[in-house]
């Protein structure tokens, strides 16, 4: 049984006939597509079971329908009620790892345990010694304590090295004194901090005998009996946000809070009883929590975007507008308009391309973790750079499409009942958190400069960029493809993107070398004059990774998923072609592509839209989002959009008050305005 079955409102007789017709015309078995998304038949079976655990027909606590009407404090408590039930389910069925994260996502809204499990626990696992882990991890994994990740401060976020919170070692008592010396050192933004967390992984500057040893991680207890903040801890909520308002993002300020020495995370850096500091070559893994957080965001970008596209595509198959005449009274299904297809199918191409890059990034991370356990940190810088750039590009692209999706749904898309504003609001943090995207692109771009310089001078380069050793050959290449099939051949796609990013990088290096001759601060100072170029180099490199991983990933599953391979090929071709057209000026500039080839891409994009159109509903249904998860009047599986909008509007508290004979605003103000009594006695005067 799949996730669409067994729900009373989804009987075939009640499904909108246009949606039924569309579903019957899909060219591939939707079940196979679901297998691809979820990772195979067995994984699909397990994920359907996980989804059933939060079915609102069995567990009403997970219902989302009324969250558009409740206050922020009630919304927070409602989320805690769901969290409590989820932890019960987790313990009952021993659910862990990716299955646990999937279960949390299946509730359809942000959940506190994600922050605890994705940020707090990995910090403990990655940075604590074995003895420390044996003490703290069982408590965290059993939810006997609940943690947050306190890095960002009021005055500093992405620039971790400039954090101001200090942890001073006190020889006499064998403790650290945690202190916020300035207003700007106040921890600001950690999710789950304001009211939920009992503990925090706090990033602070280690000070021993007046010497600053840089930023390290410390576990600090925040609350004691009856959840009361401990002495010296000023903690609270930062207030309403753009989204995520069921999660208690908070502020935290320390006034000389003492913690035992063994609450510094000491897997790689240590402070002995006599105050001696030691560190290993692996100390840079202190930033590993940032890397895993960014990888999580890369993986989940397709999930969030697929939810919004599911709503928009279903609605666009029900909604009809225009083209009616006296001879033909029937209006056109809006998804049959080419520009709407371009908006939405571009999003679909991103969703499915991102699935491949997410898996590629996770595999690379797993390789790195294995190497770290063996004492090898050689690819740490590489994975940090790649995850930074990909997080920035993936979240930027996702945000752009989410904005397009609201516009694609017309006026109803602006309604909270569409479900899309909530997806957008909750996603909007992603280009900022875990590193501002501009800063991340600059980090990746500067790393690429360094690697290219090494390649030019015959020094070692990371395996992911080893091709730069042949940069002269890459720069001399031009596309000889003539047909659409040749232009979109997987190898041709990879060659085109590799050429593009290598050319931008070589041009940047040349400009830096020339500018540095007269720049007062030399080569490093010249980089400030080329920030835009550095960011563009990072973007180009990340597009190259996306296209490479998508094409290689697709070819690797060609035999396993033969029925859906053709439409996946079309989607990747569309993603690639949109990129080429967007940056066609760059490709024409050095004649890698000529004008005739660009025209072929333009026509090819339109052909891709035509090919995707009959399969659009299958490409979103395959995700098996429940109605509760989407929480959308427009994206209902049964397509009864207008009935749902009307019925949900009737639930508005202002309308319910009117049904009780209470007319909010009338007795308070409107009565006086209509009676005009408030205007009597006013002396008219000329300006």
Active site residues: 434
Cα angle vertex 207, ends 205, 209, to 5°? 170
Report how far apart, in Å, the C-alpha atoms of 207 and of each of 204, 211, 241 are. Answer: 9, 5, 35
Q: Residues of 301-335 as b/e, b for ≥16 C-beta within 10 angstroms?
A: bbbbbbbbbbbbbbbbbbbbeeeeeeeeeeeebbb
Please tell me the distance from the alpha carbon of residue 176 to that of residue 259, in angstroms, as a whole number. Answer: 5
322 labelled ligand-binding: no
Q: C-alpha 323: how far from its chain's center?
A: 39
Query: Quick check: 353 and 396 in contact, CB under 8 A?
Result: no
Output helix, strand, coil percentages for the chain, rounded to the nearest 5. Answer: 60, 10, 30
Backbone phi, then psi, for 71, in 5-degree steps?
Answer: -75, 165
Query: Quick check: 109 and 277 in contact, CB under 8 A?
Result: no
Please tell me the distance from the alpha carbon of residue 522 to that of residue 533, in angstroms, as a whole number. Answer: 18
Number of other CB atoms surrounding residue 657 within 10 Å: 12
Please tell me the distance from the alpha carbon of residue 35 to that of residue 332, in angstroms, as a whole number. Answer: 33
34 labelled ligand-binding: no
Please tell me the distance from the alpha carbon of residue 642 to that of residue 18, in angstroms, as a whole number. Answer: 14
Q: Token digits for 113? A: 């345990």
Please tell me the distance from the alpha carbon of residue 308 to that of residue 650, in angstroms, as a whole number. Answer: 24
Quote the strand ranges of 151-295, DSSP E: 166-170, 175-179, 187-188, 199-208, 211-221, 233-237, 250-254, 257-260, 269-271, 277-279
Q: Token digits for 657? A: 């008050």
Q: Token digits for 292? A: 């895993």
Please tell me the distance from the alpha carbon of residue 604 to that of residue 581, in angstroms, as a whole number. Answer: 11
Report how far apart, in Å, the C-alpha atoms of 451 and of each of 179, 361, 381, 447 are. Answer: 39, 20, 11, 6
The residues near 295 (Cβ < 8 Å, ≥ 6 apart) are: 358, 361, 362, 365, 387, 391
Can you say whether residue 71 is alpha, beta or left, with left for phi > 0 and alpha for psi between -120 and 50 degrees? beta
Please tell me the distance from the alpha carbon of residue 538 to that of residue 467, in angstroms, as a whole number. Answer: 16
Query: Quick check: 417 and 140 in contact, CB under 8 A?
Result: no
* Nearest 10 degrees: Cα torsion 355, 446, 378, 497: 40
**CA proximity to 497, closest of 542, 553, 463:** 542
Helix (H) or strand (E) holding 148: strand 147-150
Q: Token digits for 671? A: 């009565």
Report how far apart, in Å, the C-alpha atoms of 541 and of each of 133, 386, 455, 605 are. Answer: 38, 9, 16, 23
Query: Quick check: 536 and 504 in contact, CB under 8 A?
Result: yes
Report the binding-site residues.
152, 191
- Binding annotation for FAD: 152, 191
């Amino acid at each position: 049984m799949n996730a669409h079955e067994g729900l009373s409102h989804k009987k075939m007789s009640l499904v909108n006939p246009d949606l039924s017709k569309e579903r019957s015309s899909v060219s591939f078995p939707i079940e196979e597509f679901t297998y691809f998304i979820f990772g195979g038949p067995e994984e699909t079976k397990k994920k359907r079971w996980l989804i059933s655990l939060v079915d609102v027909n069995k567990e009403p606590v997970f219902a989302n329908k009324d969250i558009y009407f409740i206050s922020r404090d009630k919304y927070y408590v409602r989320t805690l009620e769901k969290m409590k039930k989820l932890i019960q389910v987790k313990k009952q069925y021993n659910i862990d790892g990716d299955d646990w994260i999937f279960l949390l996502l299946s509730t359809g809204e942000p959940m506190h345990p994600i922050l605890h499990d994705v940020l707090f626990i990995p910090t403990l696992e990655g940075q604590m010694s074995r003895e420390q882990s044996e003490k703290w991890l069982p408590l965290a994994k059993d939810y006997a304590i609940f943690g947050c990740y306190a890095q960002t401060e009021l005055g500093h976020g992405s620039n971790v090295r400039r954090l101001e919170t200090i942890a001073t070692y006190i020889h006499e008592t064998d403790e650290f004194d945690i202190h916020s010396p300035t207003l700007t050192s106040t921890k600001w933004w950690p999710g789950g901090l304001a009211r939920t967390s009992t503990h925090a992984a706090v990033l602070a500057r280690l000070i021993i005998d007046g010497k600053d040893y840089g930023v390290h991680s410390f576990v600090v207890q925040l609350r004691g009996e009856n959840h009361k903040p401990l002495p010296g801890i000023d903690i609270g909520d930062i207030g309403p946000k753009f989204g995520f308002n069921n999660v208690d993002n908070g502020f935290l300020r320390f006034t000389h809070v003492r913690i035992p020495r063994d609450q510094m995370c000491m897997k790689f850096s240590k402070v002995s009883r006599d105050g001696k500091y030691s560190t290993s070559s692996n100390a840079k893994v202190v930033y590993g929590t940032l890397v895993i957080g960014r990888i999580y965001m890369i993986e989940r970008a397709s999930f969030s975007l697929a939810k919004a596209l599911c709503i928009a595509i279903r609605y666009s198959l029900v909604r009809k507008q225009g083209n009616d005449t006296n001879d033909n009274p029937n209006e056109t299904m809006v998804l049959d308009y080419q520009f709407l297809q371009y908006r939405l199918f571009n999003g679909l191409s991103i969703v499915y391309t991102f699935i491949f890059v997410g898996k590629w990034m996770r595999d690379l991370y797993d390789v790195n973790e294995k190497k770290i356990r063996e004492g090898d940190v050689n690819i740490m810088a590489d994975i940090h750079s790649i995850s930074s750039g990909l997080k920035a590009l993936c979240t930027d692209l996702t945000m752009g499409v989410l904005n397009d999706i609201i516009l694609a749904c017309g006026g109803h898309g602006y309604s909270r009942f569409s479900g899309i504003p909530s997806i957008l609001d909750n996603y909007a943090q992603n280009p900022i958190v875990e590193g501002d995207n501009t800063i991340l692109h600059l980090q990746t771009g500067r790393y690429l400069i360094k690697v290219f310089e090494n390649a030019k001078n015959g020094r070692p380069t990371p395996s992911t960029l080893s091709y730069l050793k042949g940069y002269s050959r890459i720069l001399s290449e031009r596309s000889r493809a003539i047909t659409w099939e040749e232009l979109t051949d997987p190898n041709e796609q990879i060659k085109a993107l590799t050429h593009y990013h290598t050319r931008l990088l070589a041009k940047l290096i040349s400009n830096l070398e020339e500018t540095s001759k007269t720049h007062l601060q030399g080569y490093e100072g010249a980089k400030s004059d080329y920030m835009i170029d550095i960011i563009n180099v990072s973007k180009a490199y990340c597009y190259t990774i996306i296209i490479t991983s998508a094409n290689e990933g697709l070819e690797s599953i060609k035999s396993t998923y033969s029925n859906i391979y053709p439409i996946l090929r079309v989607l990747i071709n569309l993603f690639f072609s949109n990129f080429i057209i967007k940056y066609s000026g760059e490709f024409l500039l050095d004649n890698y592509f000529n004008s005739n080839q660009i025209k072929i891409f333009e026509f090819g994009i339109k052909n891709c839209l035509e090919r995707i159109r009959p399969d659009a509903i299958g490409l979103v249904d395959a995700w098996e989002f429940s109605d509760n998860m989407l929480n959308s009047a427009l994206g209902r599986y049964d397509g009864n959009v207008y009935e749902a909008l009307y019925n949900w509007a009737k639930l508005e508290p202002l309308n319910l008050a009117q049904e009780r004979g209470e007319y909010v605003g009338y007795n308070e103000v409107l009565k006086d305005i209509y009676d005009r009594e408030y205007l009597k006695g006013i002396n008219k005067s000329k300006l």
